Amino acid sequence: MGTGACGPTGDAAAADLVTLSRRQLLTGVAAAAAPFVIGGRTRAVAATLPPALFVSAHPDDETLAMGVAIAEHVAAGQDVHVLWLTRGETSGARGSINGSGVNGWWGVQHDPGAEGYDPLDLATFGQARIEEATRAVLCLVAGLSGSLTLHEARLVTGSVTQDQAEDAIVAVADAIAPGAAVRVKTHSHVVEDHPDHLAAGKAAEALKAAHRTRFGDLRHYILPSYWTDKRLSQVSETWDKPASTEISHRARNACRAYAAWHPPSSYAIGYHSTSGLFAKLAPAPKCLYHA
């Protein structure tokens, strides 16, 4: 009983994600597993652009902060990649889904046994989050002319360091464009409070400073919770509004994917976690970024 989502469900949707182990990150080597590629045919004019790499600290950040931009880049026929640094296993939503207390969005206390699923441990919760995020990204880009490839770094949620984030970004960049330019899109290093988000933003800035030719084309995307933050006065921000009604629908549908409740294939983790942010974004999807 719940909101439907588009795209495949269960392990099939996420099994082909590129997973970068810590050892591989440290050596800058991408995982050998085949990436999960959506699409794959780019228009000739777009093929001349460097790949676009959207770096999301946790599953749902890619939709909340960057969803419209991801859809627009793929709609333009570009080679687009999403890298999740972590699986967000430590989210407080796990407790409420497991029946601990009452989640404000859901309104009643969950009873896993009565609702037909087993309580989620850290591993199964993380897997469920990445599958949910995969379904959301499919809503953003399925059927568009470009391609999108999904990657994971599998870093520890809440403990991501700048060095780890740099390693993760470089590992994917080396896999998709060895030695060549990559356009990085990630979290703000100015208008943010979460340490994982800050690590991603600072890592991108450090890479830009050290390798301007390769990582000089950089954008920092801002979550809806910071759209009115006073710290925005430190940067020059730009609104990225949907270029078409279709892009708006796609971004809205990606939000809906995070509300899908159908255990054991989907647990509406995004809405159990940050329903307020989805409520702010879904009525009028858009992105805010600074360079």
Predicted pLDDT of residue 212: 97
* Residue 6 lies inside a defined structural domain of this protein: no
User: CB of 167 within 8 A of CB of 99?
Assistant: no
* Residue 79 lies inside a defined structural domain of this protein: yes
Q: Which amino acid is at 120?
A: L
Q: Which residues contact 116 (CB under 8 A, 6 or more apart)?
A: 263, 264
3 state DSSP class of 133: helix
How many domains is the chain built from? 1
Q: Walk along the chain (291 residues) in steps of 10 and give the mean pLDDT of each run.
A: 43 43 32 44 59 98 98 96 97 97 96 97 97 97 95 97 98 96 98 97 98 98 97 96 97 98 97 97 97 90
* Residue 25 lies inside a defined structural domain of this protein: yes
Whole-number Å distance between alpha carbons of 172 and 27: 12
Structure tokens at 66: 């960057």
* Residue 75 lies inside a defined structural domain of this protein: yes
Point out which residues pair with 185 in neighbouring strands: 54, 219
The stretches of the chain forming alpha helices (DSSP H) are: 11-14, 22-27, 44-47, 61-75, 93-97, 112-115, 122-141, 162-176, 195-210, 212-215, 245-257, 269-281
Whose CA is closest to 250, among 274, 218, 281?
A: 281
* Residue 4 lies inside a defined structural domain of this protein: no
Domain with 236, as residue range(s), is 11-290
Predicted pLDDT of residue 46: 54
CA distances to 109, 202, 265 from 196, rounded to whole Å, are 30, 10, 27
* Residue 200 lies inside a defined structural domain of this protein: yes
* Residue 243 lies inside a defined structural domain of this protein: yes
* Residue 2 lies inside a defined structural domain of this protein: no
Point out which residues pair with 75 in neighbouring strands: none
Name the packing angle between helices 61-75 and 269-281 (round to 10°).
60
Supply the CATH number for residue 276's domain. 3.40.50.10320
Total-model pTM: 0.88
